[in-house]
Amino acid sequence: PVDRLPKIQEARLKLPVLAEEQVIMEAVRENPCIVICGETGSGKTTQVPQFLYEAGYGSGRGIIGITEPRRVAAVSMSHRVAKEMNLSTRVVSYQIRYEGNVTSDTKIKFMTDGVLLKEIQKDFLLQRYSVIIIDEAHERSVYTDILIGLLSRIVPLRNKKGLPMKLLVMSATLRVEDFTENIKLFRTPPPVIKVDARQFPVTIHFNKRTPMDDYTGEVFQKICKIHRMLPPGGILVFLTGQAEVHNLCRKLRNAFPFRKGNTTTGEDADADTSEAMRKFKKAKQKKTVSLPRIDLDNYSALPMDEGDEDRDAGIGDEEYDGSDLEIGDDGTSTGEKADPSIPLYVLPLYSLLAPEQQAKVFRPPPPGTRLCVVATNVAETSLTIPSIKYVVDCGRVKKRFYDRVTGVSSFKVTWTSQASANQRAGRAGRTEPGHCYRLYSSAVFGDFSLFSEAEITRRPVEDLVLQMKDLNIDKVVNFPFPTAPSAEALVAAEQLLVSLGALTEPPRTGSVKEMEQARLSCPVTPLGRAMASFPVAPRCAKMLALGKQQDCLPYVIAVVAAMTVREIFEDLDRPAPSEDESSKLSQRRARLTQMRRLWAGQGASLLLGDLMVMLGAVGACEFAGCTPKFCEDNGLRYKAMVEIRRLRGQLTNAVNAVCSEVGVFVNPKMTPPTEHQVVCLRQIVLAGLGDHLARRAQGEDMLDPKLKNGYKTALLDDPVYIHPTSALFKTLPDFIVYQEIMETTKMYMRGVSAVEAEWIP
């Protein structure tokens, strides 16, 4: 029996999903798998777990598990459900990549999809659970898709064993054919239950013209107009990224000041930064004569049948909105004058925002103010913000694009899909009729694709293939994907993993057909299992597995953590917001460049290149206590540095679980690597990034001006370049490895490190 507060009960009864409780529970009893569709805000995420709990699914044979593609949703929904049920967070809990509050009393567990995938690796039958809900399936995140594929097999297995388990797939859109009409996935199509949305009409206003460049400026103008001229009601704004969100919040707060107390975090008493830096750099490096060599066969492998309870998926936990990439700042002051008479309560909302900050959007705004939430597409479906009457939609979304063959990637702001735009508009009509302002014309809307593609078709899949092989799914091509990745992507992944030593080399004998088959079903090696246990991409995992040699592990962990977290440095290429700020900016640019040069060091250490800069930055930042001020002063993104700190802890645990004899720990006062160690580190980096080798153009090629400072790679016809901000921009070594190629104005390599010709296999 659940003892809800009367006020909560009253609010629940208004949710459309409540009307379907009987239907849903009957379908659950009679079918192993069901699909529930209902508009955002209809109550799926908060209510369905409660239905199951009240029907006894939480007690007895197992607990109720719910997966979310975003960390934000896992945390906030667990709190909400605990509150609605009047239960402690010991009972309704959450688990995300780095943290959780699950206890032995937990009955309802919200988690990210990556977390559940890791649990399947430890217990394929998921015996702790009596029911699994896959939420937000319409987002088609890679891990959601894989989980549905796996669960389509696990559920029948459980039933066969007499330990029945149920699967519920929940979607905010009606487009579920990929799940229901896919015979490979579910031989009997699961029933689909539709929840009628209690949606008030939303009037759509298209722009006559579509601003192509300054859409954030247009968004700002629109909000000002709504706020000045239209009746009360919250405003929800959709932008593409975190930097944009912050810029707009700042502009709005300047235009409509609202101050109550001081909301900024207190200034930490920070260590003397230059002192910290000097200490970090104060290297007493001994000269070594002969170059050490790393033994590529000397890696750490996982002890059989032992896993670290804490290990946890990482890759899938990343946010999907790409909101991390800083993009051009368009300044703070335009023609709008500060207007204190109309307070606007402006709140940002994006995935990486601290949970306390996120929680603010659910609370009523201070009396006499109007709420304005400036969000990335997190607010599109996962979270329902109360009392929104106006939606302002820029119509765009920031996404990462990969070239399937070359792996070249780029972040692009593109038009969103019609389905997404309609989801965004729908946010305006939850509590009363609303308005949606689309800052593009109806003709442009007509050209949008109907739906967004499943993520799995848009990115490399080596991490997934490794995870699946670790689950002993050798023939990944036969896996029941809701939408399968391309054959090319699967072949490329398998080849990379073989070259990293994570999969066994396929035999070179037999018929063409047999060899072809074998090439696509290589089993995992002990090294591959160890790599699969590290929550990072396979190339980085390989580096970790080799890291114990020459006491390099703490450095490898720090470098891998830095490589895994996106954009640790402030963008130095950013254009100045205005004329008079440009000299200030160029001064800052010069200083930060200087800083990076200091971190890169000289001589031997410089050859580790950009990875040395990362290592220096991480070391110096930790030494100074990882304060916001240190980061601000030194051009580091504070959020990224905090993330790196957590990831270092997590990787350290993971490495200790694989080879406990090294007993590595996170040392906040890590000294820089010796020259000797730097040479080892470069070889370890080559072992991980071996397929990302580039050679400086030479001979006749040099005569071609396009190729003068260019590099040749195996897969690209066109040259690629070292970025001017790279530590190795002036050195131009003959051979280098790179972390990735990003196409901006040119094809630039990022994360460049020099290698010696004689190391190359």
List phi, psi (to 5°) of 484. -80, 145
Out of 273, 384, 674, 726, the only residue in the binding site for ligand ADP (CB under 6 A) is 384
Q: How far is the CB of 97 from ligand ADP (least distance, A)?
A: 21
Out of 67, 76, 242, 467, the only residue in the binding site for ligand ADP (CB under 6 A) is 76
Of Mg ion, ligand ADP, none, which one sits near residue 650, judging by CB under 5 to 8 A according to partner kind?
Answer: none
Q: Which of residues 31-90 bind Mg ion (CB under 5 A)?
A: 45
Of ligand ADP, Mg ion, none, which one sits near residue 15, judging by CB under 5 to 8 A according to partner kind?
Answer: ligand ADP
How far is Cα 648 from Cα 555, in angstroms, rounded to an integer? 10
Of ligand ADP, Mg ion, none, which one sits near residue 80, judging by CB under 5 to 8 A according to partner kind?
Answer: ligand ADP
Using the minimum distance from each CB to Mg ion, give the nearer residue, 95 or 652: 95
Residue 338 near residue 354, CB atoms below 8 Å = no
Out of 32, 38, 316, 343, the only residue in the binding site for ligand ADP (CB under 6 A) is 38
Out of 45, 210, 323, 739, the only residue in the binding site for ligand ADP (CB under 6 A) is 45
Greatest extent of the chain over all pairs of C-alpha atoms, in Å: 81
Residues 6+ apart with CB under 8 A from 682: 607, 608, 753, 754, 755, 756, 759
Residue 516, CA atoms < 13 Å, CB-side half-sphere: 4
Using the minimum distance from each CB to Mg ion, give the nearer residue, 41 or 482: 41
Rg (CA), the chain: 27
Q: Would you count residue 42 as binding ligand ADP (CB under 6 A)?
A: yes
Q: Would you count residue 15 as binding ligand ADP (CB under 6 A)?
A: yes
Q: How far is the CB of 42 from Mg ion (least distance, A)?
A: 8
Tokens of 661: 């004899």
Q: How far is the CB of 340 from ligand ADP (least distance, A)?
A: 30
- Give the three-state DSSP class for 344: strand
Paired strand residues for 371? 345
In total, the chain counts a number of residues equal to 761
Q: How far is the CB of 356 from ligand ADP (least distance, A)?
A: 13
Q: How far is the CB of 387 from ligand ADP (least distance, A)?
A: 9
Using the minimum distance from each CB to ligand ADP, give the nearer residue, 42 or 376: 42
How far is Cα 467 from Cα 43, in angstroms, rounded to an integer? 33
Residue 348 near residue 249, CB atoms below 8 Å = yes
Q: Would you count residue 61 as binding ligand ADP (CB under 6 A)?
A: no
Q: Would you count residue 80 as binding ligand ADP (CB under 6 A)?
A: yes
**C-alpha of 664 from chain center:** 27
- Give the three-state DSSP class for 747: strand
List phi, psi (to 5°) of 591. -65, -45
Residue type, 11: A
Q: How far is the CB of 62 from ligand ADP (least distance, A)?
A: 23
Q: How far is the CB of 40 from ligand ADP (least distance, A)?
A: 4
Q: Would you count residue 362 as binding ligand ADP (CB under 6 A)?
A: yes
Quick one: which segment of 35-43, 400-408, 692-700, 729-737 binds ligand ADP (CB under 6 A)?
35-43
Q: Would you count residue 522 as binding ligand ADP (CB under 6 A)?
A: no
Nearest to 740 by CA among 674, 694, 680, 671: 694
The three state secondary structure string of 380-436 is HHCCCCCCEEEEEECCEEEEEEECCCCCCEEEEEEECCHHHHHHHHHHHHCCCCEEE
How far is Cα 602 from Cα 450, in angstroms, rounded to an integer? 54
Q: Give the count of residues interacting with ligand ADP (CB under 6 A).
A: 15
Q: Would you count residue 429 as binding ligand ADP (CB under 6 A)?
A: no
Tokens of 519: 């090439």
Residue 631 near residue 595, CB atoms below 8 Å = no
Q: Write each residue from 479 to 518 as x if it is in contact with ligand ADP (CB under 6 A), else as -, in one continuous string.
A: ----------------------------------------
Q: How far is the CB of 382 from Mg ion (least distance, A)?
A: 6
Out of 32, 43, 190, 316, the only residue in the binding site for ligand ADP (CB under 6 A) is 43
Of Mg ion, ligand ADP, none, which one sits near residue 384, judging by CB under 5 to 8 A according to partner kind?
Answer: ligand ADP
Q: How far is the CB of 47 from ligand ADP (least distance, A)?
A: 6
Q: Would you count residue 377 as binding ligand ADP (CB under 6 A)?
A: no
Q: What 8-state DSSP symbol labels residue 569?
A: B
How far is Cα 581 from Cα 41, in angstroms, rounded to an integer? 44
Q: How far is the CB of 430 from ligand ADP (least distance, A)?
A: 6
List of long-range contacts for 508-513, beta carbons under 8 Å, 24+ apart: none
Q: Would you count residue 182 as binding Mg ion (CB under 5 A)?
A: no
Residues 6+ apart with CB under 8 A from 72: 351, 353, 355, 358, 378, 382, 383
Out of 366, 386, 507, 724, the only residue in the binding site for ligand ADP (CB under 6 A) is 386
How far is Cα 655 from Cα 310, in angstroms, rounded to an integer? 12
Q: How far is the CB of 133 from Mg ion (least distance, A)?
A: 10
Quick one: which segment of 40-48, 52-60, 330-338, 494-502 binds ligand ADP (CB under 6 A)?
40-48
Quick one: which segment of 38-46, 86-94, 401-409, 655-663 binds ligand ADP (CB under 6 A)?
38-46
Q: How far is the CB of 43 from ligand ADP (least distance, A)?
A: 4
* Separation in Å, CA 148 to CA 182, 398, 564: 12, 26, 26
Tokens of 647: 């990831």
Name the residue number minimizing CB distance to Mg ion.
45
- Which residues make up the interface to ligand ADP (CB under 6 A)? 15, 38, 40-47, 76, 80, 362, 384, 386
- Which residues make up the interface to Mg ion (CB under 5 A)? 45
